[in-house]
Structure 1
Amino acid sequence: MTMLPDAKLYIDGVIRPASDNKTYDNINPWTAEPVGKVADATADDVNAAIAAARRAFDETEWSRQHNSRLALVKKYRDLLFANRDTLTQIARLEAGAAMGAANRAHIDGALNGMDDLINCFASVTWEEDRGLRNEYGFDSARIVVHEAIGVVAAITPWNVPLYVNIGKVIAALLAGCTVILKPAPDTPVMGTIMGELAAEAGFPPGVLNVITSSEPAMAGEMLVADPRVDLISFTGSTGVGKRIMEKGAETLKRVFLELGGKSVNIILEDTPDFAMTVMTGMAVFHAGQGCAMPTRLLVPRSRYEEACKALEMSYAGFSTKWGDFDDPTQIMGPVISKRQQERVMSYIELGQKEGARLIAGGKTRPDKGNGFFIEPTCFVDVTNDMRIAQEEIFGPVLVVIPFEDDEDAIRIANDSVYGLGGAVYSGDVARATNIARRIRAGALSVNGGMSITGDLPFGGVKGSGMGREWGLEGIEEFLESKVIATRVA
């Protein structure tokens, strides 16, 4: 393994250290050792980033020059693609991504999604003619203009940082906004490289700013409270999302929240290759650190024992296929941090106390190295009222719940504070689709259909948040409507 470059701030077009030159260590989840130094932004740095973004929006033509803006974003896209290998290494060393996961959702998913957003740009409606209307005895010609909302603060998580960074930053830039990106303290370099490449692409000063901080709340609190920031786009925990919404209300900010999930995977009794479909339901991709990952597996009681045996086989077969940094086929490495490891382990202990039966995993794995390794873990005999079935664990932990019939499966699926993703499998597509339509969630897959791609809107309901990112809808989140009516008679 190698070291990562030191991460610096990118403010008002300048790549620089923190104003007091302080740094913090960037920790590698595979080894628990530092892999680089990170600029630790001060309050003055955050203020400078806000001022730069505000000035770039208010005093330049950035928001109004659609074609030149698109051309610059395309140049930026080309630079990101050219640095794919570097981005992959960053995902591996600071996010703990196994090589197979880094090559999929972390990097290629992000870069392909960027292409999708650029392609969606042509569908944005900037101006609509609403025609003449006679009111109070005279005619008015009316147009509706859709324009950038202003300064956006993008506060992003550590699980798939490039993917989330691009989903927010690129959509906002395409809409004509200026952006302050605050990546998670655990994955700073995936944010700062975006600043470095923006400088190389020739972005005007202040259009994109990147600030990193070891303190999880300071910069975010400033961005949320500052009246110069018009919109907060946040991905992370539901608890933090609630606080952002509360604090953002003081300045009447528009708030986009993509929060937690406890998504279901419903496998009906008529599913072809039932056992194989069950076996592929393990929550192991990127150590289960995905907000939309189905971590509640619902199987029919009539085939429950068969499902449990299939899972025992699949977990046994997977036991030697994770935790190897150099294996290009592997999709599971460590969790992000010691803190997250302890949190996940506390849920595994809780599940056993609640009476669920552990059929796989359940332990840390120091034999894998000094990093934050947890075995792929599966609980059966789970009831949906258990905390391990209701709360987001964000680790490689699957809970298996039996259901009686379709109505019972729908009831269990919707008996959750969350509503982000989900999946339904059946030999009867109409039956599965009907169930999917009745699940309260933002993205549903039927028989393995890809419901999360860069050209589709993504987001949740209930405790999973509000608003949508990606696709045309993701760009439109950053637009405001303005009416202009001209008297003509």
Structure 2
Amino acid sequence: MTKIPAPTREDWEHLATNLTFTNQAFINGEYVDALSGATFACESPIDGRILTQVASCDAADADLAVKAARNAFESGIWRDLPPAKRKQILLKFADLIAKNRDELALLETLDMGKPIRFSSSVDIGGTARAISWTAEAIDKVYGEIAPTPTNQMGLITREAVGVVAAIVPWNFPLLMASWKFAPALAMGNSVILKPSEKSPLTALRVAGLAKEAGIPDGVFNVLPGFGTTVGKALALHMDVDTLAFTGSTAVAKQLMIYAGESNMKRVWLEAGGKSPNIVFADAPNLEKAAEATAQGIAFNMGQVCTAGTRLLVEASIKDKFVTLVKAALVKWQPNHPLDPNTLNGAIVDKQQLSKVLGYIEKGQQEGASLLAGGEQAFQESGGYYVQPTVFTDAKNTMQIASEEIFGPVLSVLTFDSMEDAIKQANDTIYGLAAAVWTADLNKAHKTAKALRAGSVWINNYDGGDMTAPFGGFKQSGKGRDKSLHAFDKYTEIKATWLSFE
């Protein structure tokens, strides 16, 4: 069999010239304009050009979508399907996403600026895997029977919670969305997906694929628009039962307030992070650890909630290890996202670029030493690029080491003992992820146990798959995406007690 060559940059650019952009909201099985007729410009961070004008939904559109979702839920058209039947439809949905991988990957890259190689493999490939894994699991989630006297029976069952609003971020637009809508749909709920205004295009496109797969009208809706309008309206809506969110800690806190001000809806939050990457002197492979450190800060242009933004390295190897990290970052220099060899693309928009550059300036003002990067790149392109940046001599009291930057900026701190490393690692309001590099099994387990983080990786960074839950401690949020634990967010648990004569 002849092997088909991988697409080149020219191939992707040619495909882009023939690409059409789905730019309307999707409500009750139909693509529609916002009721107000308002739109917003969807800009590509690759070169600053406007891709399309997207419907800008508001409270009126939210109300329309919630009514459609509620009607679909109450009708039982989806909720009452046997789990095996919902599984078949969701598997078809995943298959359609996989079949349209190139189109969806290109939309993700043009819209958000990430390298096409990762849009295809990580984002779109991961989305299809997330939906299919979740679908395969749904008819294997059992209820329980309580231990009762012989003349009684206690049934413990899971039921769909109702209408779920999912507000998702711009950094992994479709992948993060699938972590929420897949289990919500699998459990029989109706879903309203609110993508970020910075990267709405793939969510809008897959809405049509959901219908093609057989998901009934009203069960899966997509509302593009701004968080301050349609996002707020969904959070305050009296007929939304559950709100699932990924984004900043500040917005997460506000959504909890909205839930309390409305119907006390369940709120599940995956918020910010400032993850420590701890490298002990006895790490089994310092070169591997350095490569992972570079990837941990530069992947997705540092726009990752679990990015290893704080490198805690044992003082005795600090100079040697930082030199290895600096060398490893060479291949992570920004380049055109449609080049298949590119690892580091564009920052999502001008606002985020300004934020990142502002933190780099602040780091120098605070007294940290700029070791590498720190400059904007490819300004002639009209796009938004920045070099991976490394600061040494950082402290947790500095803003660059304590605040979530969401850009490729690494703060290097040192420690002298396991206890010191743990103390510094936990000295943060966040608790999303952490990594430990050591050949000492006891030290690895003791450190991992002591770290206040939802995910701890030992001798790797960003490990795991759909079988492992994802979420954080402290102000990194509550609830878990992925794994069987994700189903807990989208169900009510009912106890039914029977007595026999």
Give me the TM-score of the superposition, normalised by structure 1. 0.95
Identity of aligned residues (%): 35
The match for 1:23 among 39, 45, 52 is 39
Shift, 1:131, TM fit: 4.3
Q: 1:240-286, CA deviations, whole angstroms, 9 ceiling, x for partnerless residues?
A: 00000111023111110000000011111011332452243121111
Q: Which runs of 5+ in 1 are unaligned?
A: none
Task: Determine the structure 1 residue equivalent to 2:256.
Answer: 245
Counterpart of 2:180? Answer: 168
Going from structure 1 to structure 2, the CA distance change for 1:86 and 1:310 (only over 3 Å counts) comes to same
Structure 1 counterpart of 2:321, from 292, 303, 307: 307
1:78 aligns with 2:99: no
**In 1, are the aligned partners of 2:334 and 2:346 still within 8 Å (CA)?**
no
In structure 1, the partner of 2:490 is 478
Q: 2:9 — aligned with what?
A: none
Shift of 1:113: 2.2
- Please list, as runs of the form range in 1=range in 2, the aligned pairs for 1:1-20 lying within 5 A after superposition: 1=13, 2=16, 4-20=20-36
Report how far residue 119 of structure 1 moved: 2.8
Contact 1:113–1:455 at 8 Å: present in 2 too? no
Q: Indicate whether 1:343 and 2:355 are aligned.
A: yes
Task: Give the corresponding residue for 1:119.
Answer: 136
Partner of 1:281: 293
Contact map agreement 1:101 1:330 (CA 8 A) in 2 = no
Q: Name the SS for the 1:21 alignment partner.
A: coil
Residues 1:209 and 2:209 are matched in the alignment: no
Of residues 199, 215, 219 in structure 1, which corresponds to 2:230? 219
Matched letter for residue 210 of structure 2: A
Counterparts of 1:42-441 in structure 2, within 5 Å, are: 42-65=58-81, 66-125=83-142, 127-133=143-149, 139-213=151-225, 215-250=226-261, 251-282=263-294, 283-315=297-329, 317-318=330-331, 321-367=333-379, 369-441=381-453
Q: CA deviation at 1:429?
A: 3.0
Letter matched to residue 270 of structure 2: E
User: How far off is 1:45 after superposition?
Assistant: 1.5
How far off is 1:331 after superposition? 2.0
- The residue number in structure 1 matching 2:6 is none
| TM-score normalised by length of structure 2 | 0.92
Asked if the contact 1:324/1:333 (under 8 Å) is kept, the reply is: yes
Q: Is the 8 A contact 1:267 1:298 kept in 2?
A: yes
Instruction: Indicate the SS of the match to 1:280.
Output: helix
Give secondary structure in 1 for the equivalent of 2:70.
helix
Q: Distance in 1 between matches of 2:341 and 2:357?
A: 26
| Structure 1 vs Structure 2 CA RMSD | 1.7
Question: Which range moved further: 463-472 or 110-119?
Answer: 110-119
2:453 counterpart SS class: coil
SS in structure 1 of the partner of residue 309 of structure 2 = strand
* 1:450-469 paired onto structure 2 within 5 Å: 451-469=463-481
Contact 1:443 1:452 in 2 (8 A): no
Equivalent pair of 2:27/2:68 in contact (CA under 8 Å): yes
| Cα distance in 2 between the residues matched to 1:133 and 1:387 | 60
Cα distance, 1:132 vs structure 2: 3.0
Which segments of 5 or more consecutive residues in structure 2 lack a partner in the other structure? 1-12
Contact kept in structure 2, 1:117 and 1:455, CA below 8 Å: no
CA distance in structure 2 between the partners assigned to 1:399 and 1:228 by the alignment: 44
On the 8 A contact 1:124/1:476 being kept in 2, the answer is no
* Partners of 1:325 and 1:365 in 2: CA distance: 13
1:333 CA drift (Å): 0.7
Q: CA–CA distance in 1 between the matches of 2:174 and 2:464?
A: 16
Kindly indicate whether the alpha-carbon contact (under 8 Å) linking 1:101 and 1:332 is maintained by their aligned counterparts in 2.
no
Give yes or no for contact 1:120–1:471 (8 Å, CA) kept in 2: no
Asked if structure 2 preserves the Cα contact closer than 8 Å seen for 1:429 and 1:446, the reply is no
**3-state SS of paired residue (1:129):** strand
2:241 and 2:265 in contact (8 A); partners too: yes
Preserved contact between residue 452 and residue 458 of structure 1 (Cα < 8 Å): no
State the SS of the aligned residue for 1:281: helix
Letter paired with 1:234: F
Deviation at 1:480, TM superposition (A): 0.7
Write the distance in 1 (CA, Å) between the matches of 2:466 and 2:341: 24
For the residue of structure 2 that corresponds to 1:35, the secondary structure is strand
Find the residue that maps to 1:132 and give its secondary structure.
coil
Count of residue pairs the alignment pairs up:
481
- What CA deviation, in whole Å up to 9, does each residue of 1:4-23 have, x standing for no partner? 51311110111222223332
- On the 8 A contact 2:337/2:346 being kept in 1, the answer is no
